[in-house]
């Protein structure tokens, strides 16, 4: 089995598609890495659910201000032009379609665009945060994910079996092996690692990968 | 990112025939006179944009601003709460002649419908208007033993807004009660065009003092010393100026 | 026929019922006079629909700032503690039940609390402003009005014949002849001018005036 | 008018058994630690208030604030979007033991329901949650070809809020992202109790800089140098303090 991209490399690939001046919300955890890989000359404006637009990178340790945090409760910094607002205005931005891109993690994504990323079932403590709002608000909803689960089962599926976050909401997937669009209820393969054969990629995918021309090479720097 | 546009003419160049245009302000307070007059100038020069639907609390006063837009024949419909003013003749005459359509909306419902448009809320329930003519034909529902009217969101193609301070990211503050509908309209329009009296560098507005964050703004034009509708009307102004 | 109170006297009487610290919205026109008659030692906080709380009196002529106006588009002034806000927040105050009192004018008030004050029928240009929101928001909705129309017909009626502003919303009326509460779908006479007999007052009223004990004298200073 | 109350104990004295209590803050940012701890102190001294429903984005972290309220046994139910944190043990253990009820609400829906409660909107439609477990049993409607879930307003008996600056009329500002839910909760509670780090005279806040106008506030307590939940948790703090 081919070595897939690291989380950082997946985040790098997703960052290449973010335009200068785009308004972007990054999910808690792994998607937060997208900020590190903005191409030169482009500056996205990052939104966090708890009421900040246009914040900057994490401060040096010991210099955190705990009133200046992101949705993951990690400290961030001010930049010229940062704005604060309340939660109603923050989700007006989300739900009202003002964000260009939301980038989230996933447990499962179905070929019809359904996303499951908040609950693995009735055990434990459920927690949803802002994910259900984000998937129905942003113009583009992108998912960053390993192509398969830790035990090797497909995360890209025919139908989600886990509780849904949103119905028909995902528009693009960046996985450890490929870049895939969702259009008309189908997975459309746009890019794949040159090191994996199409047949093998299909075997790791739980629904048919459709082609729209020859897939490009998924090319990411070593890091 | 730089949302500045250098001329009023360029700022309003994209407004299309038949567009729905939200205009900030309550009476003269917050009225973006210069943006409206630039739109009139374009219409007089090119015949466009025509057949506009204008959303504002009022329907114009005197012969400037919204009244001038109506007077020059650009406006097919007005959505407002209170089409009366010190000098409402322009609207009144067209309305009574059947030449302009009016959708009358209670003021709080108008504000909430616009906010809903900006916030992705397609419909909500309000007690306002229940049992009155203005709720006729609208769905009604009971919650906790009280009756409410269902109202729909209101969106626009364009919002014309007057702000006090703005930066090139589109962050805005407003002067006193000139704020009124502007922050809501900025959220609810596909393209929000703002005239600012003071243009500052990003960071020139305290992050906690930003009233409209830049995400809701598409274009910023610097208009120092903007005209106040009330002052124009007291001096008998018209737009375009009548030349002897 | 007895000489009734002037508009200023009606406004004076209404002002006596406003408690210190009450949040009050005054309708355009005649109700605006209520601000002049606040009893010594009491300070109401006035709200105007266009986004000001705690504004002060009109400025001297020539010193108006036309960004600092009330709902009637008249210039007002700042006081220490004035706050500005947008129209959504302003009507959240109204609709959300945060105002203690709204004081409006009327064309007709029915004994069931229905109010008609925005339209005299299909002729002319209709205009509603914030009245329909105010009547369903404030804890007390008081009406200031002449007891009868200019041509002597009752404004207090069995049922409104003019288009309604709100259903069952009025709680108290201050008229040129009396103070009347609306309770349980009935007019309850609380005060009347000593100079008018109860029988005569009833003749000028379009529905039964109920008593709850002897009505007090409606006593207002000369002005 | 003077909404100042001189002690935290007096400020929270009126909270009743079974009350619904909105608590400002997102994680530790904006958490009114001193007000919550005063409420705990009263509960430990008098047994009241018990069986509270707490509304917050989260369900506590460590052993202070909401976590301490839960740990001391005052809380019967939590309404929140995200009951996880760096140290969520207090909530997690009670929840898994079936000793505390949880109503899980998507974050934006939680914010909008609270705003609706404050704004007199009994119900609204949102796309959020459509087709998911969290919308089960809720009315669904279609607008312009898209499906939406009907959500109800959320109100509370009491809101506990942390603000940066306040005056005796109740006008408030907030520090950076500590604003989050506070302005909404201040609107939606019957009684809104605020701890302010700086108490100023009326007029000490610029009229345009007021974020929460005083009409939404009932009580103001001056708490200079308020504790930051994150700092408390990093130092292993507990409330009440464990005495050796």
Judging contacts by C-beta atoms under 8 Å, the chain C residues touching residue B179 are 51, 84-86
Q: What's the average model confidence in pLDDT over C3-9? A: 93
Using the beta-carbon criterion (under 8 Å), do A130 and D106 form an inter-chain contact? Answer: yes
Complete DSSP assignment for B54-116:
EE-SB--BTBBHHHHHHHTT-EEEEEESB---SS-HHHHHHHHTT-SEEEE--HHHHHHHHHH
* pLDDT level of residue A29 (50, 70, 90 thresholds): confident
Do the domain assignments include residue B219?
A: yes
- Residue B177 structural domain: 8-121+155-229
Best to test chain C binding among D115, D120, D218 (most C CBs inside 10 Å): D120
Contacts for D220 with CB less than 8 Å, ≥ 6 apart: D3, D4, D5, D166, D167, D168, D170, D194, D196, D199
**Percent share of chain C, pLDDT over 70:** 99
Considering chain B, what is the average pLDDT of its residues? 97
Residues B142, B144: Cα–Cα separation, whole Å: 7
| Structure confidence by residue, pLDDT tens digits, A90-127 | 999 999 999 999 999 999 999 999 999 999 888 889 99
Give chain D's domain count.
1
Selected residues 117-176 of chain D with any CB under 8 Å from a CB in chain A: 126-134, 174-176
Quick check: A187 pLDDT over 70?
yes
**In the prediction, which pLDDT does D68 show?**
98
Quick check: C2 pLDDT over 70?
no
* A78, A83, A99 member nearest B214 (Cβ): A83
Using the beta-carbon criterion (under 8 Å), do C95 and B115 form an inter-chain contact? Answer: no
| Structure confidence by residue, pLDDT tens digits, C130-149 | 999 999 989 999 999 999 99
**In the prediction, which pLDDT does A139 show?**
93
Quick check: C1 pLDDT over 90?
no
Quick check: D243 pLDDT over 70?
no
**In the prediction, which pLDDT does B243 show?**
64
**In the prediction, which pLDDT does C90 show?**
98
Cis amide leading into C132 (omega within 30): no
* pLDDT level of residue D244 (50, 70, 90 thresholds): low
Inter-chain contacts counted by CB atoms under 8 A, chains C and D:
64
Judging contacts by C-beta atoms under 8 Å, the chain D residues touching residue C85 are 210, 213
Quick check: A141 pLDDT over 70?
yes
Minimum distance, in Å, between the CA of residue D43 and any CA atom of chain A: 27
Distances (CA, A) of C220 to A139, C36, C188: 64, 14, 20
Cβ pair D182, D26 in contact under 8 A: no
- Residues in chain A, how many? 223
Q: What's the average model confidence in pLDDT over C62-86? A: 97
Quick check: B5 pLDDT over 80?
yes
Using the beta-carbon criterion (under 8 Å), do B121 and D125 form an inter-chain contact? Answer: yes
**In the prediction, which pLDDT does D62 show?**
97
Do the domain assignments include residue B62?
A: yes
Q: How many CB atoms lie within 10 A of CB D120?
A: 26
Cβ pair B150, B138 in contact under 8 A: yes
Using the beta-carbon criterion (under 8 Å), do D207 and C20 form an inter-chain contact? Answer: no
Instruction: Report the residue of chain D nearest C78, measured CA to CA.
Output: D207
**Percent share of chain D, pLDDT over 90:** 98
- Strand pairing partners for D102? D78
Instruction: Report the residue of chain C nearest D205, measured CA to CA.
Output: C81
Judging contacts by C-beta atoms under 8 Å, the chain C residues touching residue B110 are 87
Using the beta-carbon criterion (under 8 Å), do A167 and D131 form an inter-chain contact? Answer: yes
* pLDDT level of residue D134 (50, 70, 90 thresholds): very high
At residue A93, the 3 state secondary structure works out as: helix
Quick check: D144 pLDDT over 80?
yes
Enumerate the active-site residues of A: 49
DSSP state letter for A48:
E
* pLDDT level of residue A129 (50, 70, 90 thresholds): very high
Do the domain assignments include residue D201?
A: yes
Best to test chain D binding among C54, C83, C87, C130 (most D CBs inside 10 Å): C83
Q: What's the average model confidence in pLDDT over B94-105? A: 97
Judging contacts by C-beta atoms under 8 Å, the chain B residues touching residue C29 are none
| Structure confidence by residue, pLDDT tens digits, D172-222 | 999 999 999 999 999 999 999 999 999 999 999 999 999 999 999 999 999
Distances (CA, A) of A176 to A12, A113, A161: 11, 18, 21
**In the prediction, which pLDDT does D99 show?**
97
Quick check: A14 pLDDT over 80?
yes
| Structure confidence by residue, pLDDT tens digits, C15-30 | 999 999 999 999 988 8
Inter-chain contacts counted by CB atoms under 8 A, chains A and B:
64
* pLDDT level of residue D19 (50, 70, 90 thresholds): very high
Radius of gyration for the alpha carbons in chain A, expressed in angstroms and rounded = 17
> For residue D82, what are its two tokens?
């995200």
The CATH class for the domain spanning C7-213 reads alpha beta
Judging contacts by C-beta atoms under 8 Å, the chain C residues touching residue D1 are 20-21, 43, 45
Quick check: B244 pLDDT over 70?
no
| Structure confidence by residue, pLDDT tens digits, A39-75 | 999 999 999 999 999 999 999 999 999 999 999 999 9
| Structure confidence by residue, pLDDT tens digits, B161-183 | 999 999 999 999 999 999 999 99
* B85, B107, B177 member nearest C68 (Cβ): B177
Contacts for A80 with CB less than 8 Å, ≥ 6 apart: B201, B202, B203
> For residue A197, what are its two tokens?
């054969």
Residues C158, C150: Cα–Cα separation, whole Å: 19
Best to test chain B binding among D115, D124, D147 (most B CBs inside 10 Å): D124
Residue D118, Cβ density class (10 Å: 0-12 exposed, 13-18 middle, ≥19 buried): buried
Using the beta-carbon criterion (under 8 Å), do C83 and D171 form an inter-chain contact? Answer: yes
Contacts for B112 with CB less than 8 Å, ≥ 6 apart: B124, B126, B151, C88, C91, C95, D119, D121
Minimum distance, in Å, between the CA of residue B193 and any CA atom of chain A: 15
Q: What's the average model confidence in pLDDT over D155-168? A: 98
Considering chain A, what is the average pLDDT of its residues? 96
Considering chain C, what is the average pLDDT of its residues? 96
| Structure confidence by residue, pLDDT tens digits, B56-99 | 999 999 999 999 999 999 999 999 999 999 999 999 999 999 99
**CATH code of residue B71:** 3.40.1080.10
Cβ pair C193, C138 in contact under 8 A: no
Q: What residue ranges do the domains of chain A occupy?
A: 7-213
| Structure confidence by residue, pLDDT tens digits, D68-83 | 999 999 999 999 999 9
| Structure confidence by residue, pLDDT tens digits, B204-213 | 999 999 999 9
Using the beta-carbon criterion (under 8 Å), do B120 and D143 form an inter-chain contact? Answer: no
Best to test chain B binding among A81, A101, A137 (most B CBs inside 10 Å): A81
Cβ pair B59, B68 in contact under 8 A: no
* D121, D179, D208 member nearest B173 (Cβ): D208
pTM score, whole prediction: 0.98
């Amino acid at each position: 089995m081919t070595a897939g991209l690291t989380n950082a490399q997946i985040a790098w690939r997703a960052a290449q598609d973010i335009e200068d001046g785009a308004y972007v919300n990054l999910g808690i955890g792994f998607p937060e890495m997208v900020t590190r890989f903005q191409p030169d000359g482009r500056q996205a404006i990052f939104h966090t659910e708890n009421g900040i637009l246009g914040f900057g990178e994490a401060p040096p340790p010991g210099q955190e201000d705990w009133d200046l945090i992101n949705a993951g409760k990690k400290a961030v910094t001010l930049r010229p032009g940062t704005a604060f607002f309340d939660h109603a205005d923050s989700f007006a931005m989300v739900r009202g379609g003002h964000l260009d891109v939301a980038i989230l993690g996933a447990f499962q994504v179905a070929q019809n665009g359904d996303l499951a990323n908040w609950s693995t079932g009735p055990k434990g403590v459920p927690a949803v945060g802002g994910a259900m709002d984000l998937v129905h608000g942003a113009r583009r909803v992108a998912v960053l994910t390993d192509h398969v689960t830790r035990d090797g089962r497909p995360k890209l599926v025919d139908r989600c079996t886990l509780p849904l976050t949103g119905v028909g909401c995902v528009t693009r997937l960046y996985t450890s092996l490929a870049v895939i669009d969702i259009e008309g209820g189908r997975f459309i393969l746009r890019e794949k690692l040159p090191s994996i054969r199409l047949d093998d990629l299909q075997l790791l995918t739980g629904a048919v990968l459709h082609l729209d021309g020859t897939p490009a090479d998924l090319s990411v720097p070593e890091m | 990112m730089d949302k500045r546009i250098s001329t009023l003419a360029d700022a309003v160049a994209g407004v299309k025939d038949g567009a729905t245009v939200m205009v900030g302000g309550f009476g003269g307070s917050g009225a973006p006179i210069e943006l409206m007059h630039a739109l009139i100038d374009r219409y007089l020069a090119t015949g466009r944009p025509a057949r506009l639907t204008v959303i504002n609390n009022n329907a114009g006063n005197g012969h400037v601003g919204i009244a001038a837009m109506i007077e020059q024949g650009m406006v097919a419909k007005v959505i407002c709460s209170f089409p009366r003013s010190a000098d409402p003749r322009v609207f009144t005459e067209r309305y009574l002649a059947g030449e302009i359509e009016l959708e009358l909306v209670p003021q709080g419902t108008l504000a909430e419908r616009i906010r809903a448009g900006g916030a992705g809320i397609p419909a909500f329930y309000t007690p306002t208007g229940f049992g009155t003519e203005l709720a006729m034909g609208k769905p009604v529902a009971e919650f906790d033993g009280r009756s409410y009217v269902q109202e729909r969101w209101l969106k626009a193609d364009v919002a014309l807004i007057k702000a006090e301070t703005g930066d090139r990211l589109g962050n805005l503050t407003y002067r006193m009660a000139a704020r009124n509908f502007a922050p809501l309209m900025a959220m609810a329009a596909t393209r929000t065009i703002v005239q600012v009296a003071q243009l500052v560098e990003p960071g020139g507005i305290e992050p906690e003092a930003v009233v409209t964050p830049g995400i809701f703004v598409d274009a910023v034009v610097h208009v120092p010393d903007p005209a106040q509708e009330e002052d124009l009307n007291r001096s008998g102004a018209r737009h375009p100026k009548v030349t002897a």
